[in-house]
């Protein structure tokens, strides 16, 4: 079993050399489709299925599902900060600790799929108002000690959704549940 492939089933994110309106539209569409893809992938999972991990030492599928709106809420706020402020310093969060909270380990995934659906509708509506040059705005991520463009973040979060969707679908397909 290749642990790296289990961790990164679609590979790690890589920013393309060219970022244009076509690429922005593709990524925004991928973000828009994610909630339905998660709902479809999880609709027939049992409680036992949801408590299985996608890799040894990894989160349960339930934790992955709860992680998505947690992470994407932070992304939404970061997008808004970078549009409304000049080079803001964003606030990092401990996603591993968030995934260990009681509701993330044992809560009803329907709450997180509904939250992800509403959040993505709002996020996509916002993203579609941005001009191509807006995606060159930046924010500072103190944990990484780097500055990122909104273009990079857009790609990262389109990738992030597909990355965790693959954790779910691969676990189901491989019968690891």
Q: Which residues of the chain have pLDDT under 50?
A: 176-177
Placement of tokens 């080079």 in the chain: 87
Fold of 33-42+56-173: 1.20.120
Placement of tokens 């970078």 in the chain: 82
Q: Directed axis angle between helix 109-127 and helix 61-84, to 10°?
A: 30
Q: Is 145 exposed, middle or buried (0-12, 13-18, 19+ CB in 10 A)?
A: exposed
- Residue 1, pLDDT score: 60
Distances (CA, A) of 5 to 10, 58, 79, 166, 173: 8, 13, 30, 11, 15
H-helix segments, 43-149: 47-50, 61-84, 95-99, 102-106, 109-127
């Amino acid at each position: 079993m290749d642990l790296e492939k289990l961790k990164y089933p679609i590979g790690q994110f890589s920013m393309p050399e060219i970022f244009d309106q076509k690429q922005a539209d593709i990524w925004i569409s991928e973000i828009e489709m994610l909630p339905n893809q998660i709902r479809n992938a999880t609709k027939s999972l049992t409680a036992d299925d949801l408590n299985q991990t996608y890799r040894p030492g990894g989160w349960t599928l339930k934790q992955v599902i709860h992680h998505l709106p947690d992470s994407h809420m932070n992304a939404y706020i970061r997008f808004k900060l970078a549009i409304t402020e000049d080079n803001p310093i964003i606030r990092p969060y401990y996603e591993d600790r968030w995934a260990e909270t009681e509701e993330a380990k044992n809560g009803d995934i329907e709450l997180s799929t509904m939250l992800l659906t509403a959040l993505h509708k709002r996020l996509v509506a916002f993203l579609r108002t941005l001009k191509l040059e807006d995606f060159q705005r930046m924010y500072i991520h103190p944990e990484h000690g780097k500055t990122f463009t909104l273009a990079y973040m857009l790609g990262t979060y389109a990738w992030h959704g597909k990355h965790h969707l693959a954790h779910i679908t691969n676990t189901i397909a491989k019968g690891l549940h």
